[in-house]
């Protein structure tokens, strides 16, 4: 008897396939050398779309505590361009909403304080909510008070009861990570002051589809949002999205601005109906639009494998740059191992010396690239291509070239 899957938002049936990426390990389950000969759990990585609300989503196979709690390998502060983005955000929001010493900024999934530190520098009270102990400790070392909790209505009620409601409630790249979507968004409504503002940033499904960014699908990302789907979710919990910006981060994201439905002082901007119309014109409320995505995924796989095999046959050496979650989706789906990609490097000391899940490719310090002089450097966090090419410009001194894998493998000039 086939398993009946239900949408995590509206309860509709999940029968329509969006992208079937086979079996894959958890993308942030990095391995130590002593774990390489042990059994490694793999789970289906199959995104489906609800034909009622058009929310693209994965099944939940691991508890959030296993994915994001304890010792978490991702530290936001190791990407210079992301810090620049955070600093610019803090400046813009402070000015737009008149934040000051009497305000409170609360960030959910605040990581290592990469964002809230810029509000602290302005003398604005902040609070981080972060479940991972190691990154929360790094935030506190920057002067960012942090509650070590997963966020939902229970946490929101506790904080609200203690007088910690937010004038600005921030969630950058967290909405996709939430298995209980309704509980999370209901919690936002509880923690937001009556006249407060929510801003959330998340990868835009329209860009994911248009540019073949299938590698952003991994188990830690439970949901993938169009503006149309996000608007439905927030409206169901008494929250109105009154403005939206299309921003370049993570290959193309949305920044949405939310308020309580009753807060009519914040009028709905023209950007909202404009983006609704754009997504409808692109077919994001038609099932056949989603069904066609699988062909692009398979094409991208063939192009990458063709490049790597041809390079190997020609006696060329290929190394990777970065150890992002998206890279682990890409390499596992394409079946790439160390015979085609010798090693990868990462700036984060928390990943160096470990091995990628599934593929068992070693992660080294970036200095290894200069020491071994590979012919090609495959950029796994392709959304940071400009930053990485600038940092690693010396690769060109021995004739090395950079390769970007998405939407299809191509060598940069």
Token output for 219: 């188990």
Average pLDDT for residues 276-283, to the nearest whole number? 98
Q: What is the Cα–Cα distance from 202 to 126, expressed in whole angstroms?
A: 22
164 pLDDT band, cuts 50/70/90, is: very high
Q: Look up residue 114 and give its two tokens.
A: 């990469």
pLDDT of residue 388 exceeding 50, the answer is yes
Q: What is the CATH number of domain 303-411?
A: 3.40.50.720
The predicted structure's pLDDT at residue 60: 84
pLDDT: is 45 or 251 the higher one? 45
Condensed to tens digits (0 to 9), the pLDDT of residues 191-241 reads 999 999 999 999 999 999 999 999 999 998 999 999 999 999 999 999 999
Report the pLDDT value the prediction gives residue 81, as an integer from 0 to 100: 86
pLDDT at 399 over 80: yes
**pLDDT of 77:** 60
pLDDT at 339 over 90: yes
Range(s) of the chain covered by CATH 3.40.50.150: 76-290
Residue 69 has pLDDT above 60, yes or no: no
What are the start-end ranges of the H helices in 282-334? 287-291, 293-313, 325-334
Render pLDDT for 92-121 as a digit per residue (tens, 0 to 9): 999 999 999 999 999 999 999 999 999 999
Q: Would you state the pLDDT for residue 66?
A: 59
Q: How far is Cα 338 from Cα 332, in angstroms, rounded to an integer?
A: 12
Q: pLDDT value at position 376?
A: 98
Residues of the chain with CATH 3.40.50.720: 303-411
Supply the pLDDT for residue 1. 45
Tell me the DSSP string of 224-279: EB-HHHHHHHHHTTTEEEEEEEEE-GGGSEEEEEEEETT-TTSPPPTHHHHHHHHH
Residue 67 is predicted with a pLDDT of: 57
Tell me how far apart the terminal alpha carbons of the chain are, to the nearest angstrom.
Answer: 53
Examine the pLDDT at 306 and tell me if it is beyond 70. yes
- Residue 70 confidence (pLDDT) above 60: no
pLDDT of residue 71: 58
* Cβ neighbours of residue 121 closer than 8 Å, sequence gap 6 or more: none
Q: What share of the chain is helix, strand, coil (3-state, %, to 5)?
A: 40, 25, 40
Write the pLDDT tens digit of every residue in 259-278: 999 999 999 999 999 999 99
Show the tokens assigned to 248: 């370049």
pLDDT higher than threshold 70 for residue 127: yes
Instruction: Give, in order, the Cα–Cα distances in Å from 87 to each of 44, 158, 169, 234, 310.
Output: 38, 29, 16, 27, 43
SS3 146: strand
390-394 long-range contacts (CB < 8 A, ≥24 apart) are 391/366, 392/321, 392/366, 394/370
Higher-scoring residue by pLDDT: 220, 127: 127
- What tokens appear for 210 in the block? 């248009």
Is residue 2 predicted with pLDDT exceeding 80?
A: no
Q: Could you tell me what percent of the chain has a pLDDT over 70?
A: 95
What pLDDT shows up at residue 64?
62
pLDDT exceeds cutoff 90 at 74: no
What is the crossing angle of helices 227-235 and 271-281, to 10°? 120
Residue 2 or 279, more confident: 279
Distance of alpha carbon 413 from alpha carbon 38, whole angstroms: 41
Position 153 pLDDT exceeds 60: yes
Question: In the CATH hierarchy, which fold is given to the domain comprising 76-290?
Answer: Rossmann fold (3.40.50)
- C-alpha neighbours within 13 Å on the C-beta side of residue 257: 22
Instruction: Kindly tell me if the per-residue pLDDT of 63 is higher than 90.
Output: no
């Amino acid at each position: 008897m086939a398993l009946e899957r239900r949408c995590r938002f509206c309860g509709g049936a999940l029968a329509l396939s969006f992208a079937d990426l086979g079996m894959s390990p958890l993308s942030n389950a990095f391995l130590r050398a002593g774990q390489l000969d042990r059994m490694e759990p793999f789970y289906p990585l199959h995104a489906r779309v609800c034909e009622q609300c058009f929310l693209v989503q994965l099944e939940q196979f691991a508890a959030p505590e296993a994915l994001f709690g304890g010792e978490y390998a991702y530290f936001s502060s190791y990407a210079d361009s992301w810090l620049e983005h955070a600093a610019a955000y803090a400046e813009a929001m402070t000015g737009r909403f008149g934040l000051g010493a009497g305000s409170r900024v609360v960030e959910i999934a605040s990581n290592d304080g990469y964002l809230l530190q810029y509000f602290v520098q302005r003398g604005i009270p902040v609070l981080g909510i972060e479940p991972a102990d190691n990154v929360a400790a790094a935030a506190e070392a920057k002067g960012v008070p942090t509650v070590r909790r997963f966020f939902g209505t229970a946490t929101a009620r506790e904080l609200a009861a203690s007088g910690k409601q937010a004038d600005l409630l921030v969630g950058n790249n967290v909405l996709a990570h939430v298995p209980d979507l309704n509980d999370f968004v209901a919690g936002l409504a509880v923690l937001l002051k009556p006249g407060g503002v929510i801003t959330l940033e998340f990868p835009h499904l329209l860009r994911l589809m248009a540019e073949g960014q299938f590698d952003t699908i991994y188990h830690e990302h439970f949901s993938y949002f169009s503006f149309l789907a996000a608007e439905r979710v927030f409206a169901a919990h008494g929250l109105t999205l009154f403005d939206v910006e299309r921003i370049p981060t993570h290959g193309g994201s949305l920044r949405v601005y939310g308020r309580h439905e009753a807060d009519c002082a914040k009028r709905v901007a023209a950007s909202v109906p404009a983006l609704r119309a754009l997504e409808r014109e692109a077919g994001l409320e038609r099932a056949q639009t989603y069904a066609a995505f699988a062909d692009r995924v398979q094409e991208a796989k063939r192009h990458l494998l063709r490049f790597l095999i041809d390079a190997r046959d020609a006696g060329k050496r290929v190394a990777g740059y970065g150890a992002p979650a998206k890279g682990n989706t890409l390499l596992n789906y394409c079946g790439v191992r160390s015979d085609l990609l010798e090693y990868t490097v990462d700036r984060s000391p928390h990943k160096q010396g470990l091995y990628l899940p599934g593929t068992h490719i070693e992660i080294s310090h970036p200095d290894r690239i200069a020491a071994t002089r590979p012919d090609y450097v495959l950029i796994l966090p392709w959304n940071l291509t400009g930053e990485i090419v600038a940092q690693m410009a010396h690769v060109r001194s021995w004739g090395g070239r950079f390769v970007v894998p998405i939407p299809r493998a191509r060598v940069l000039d």
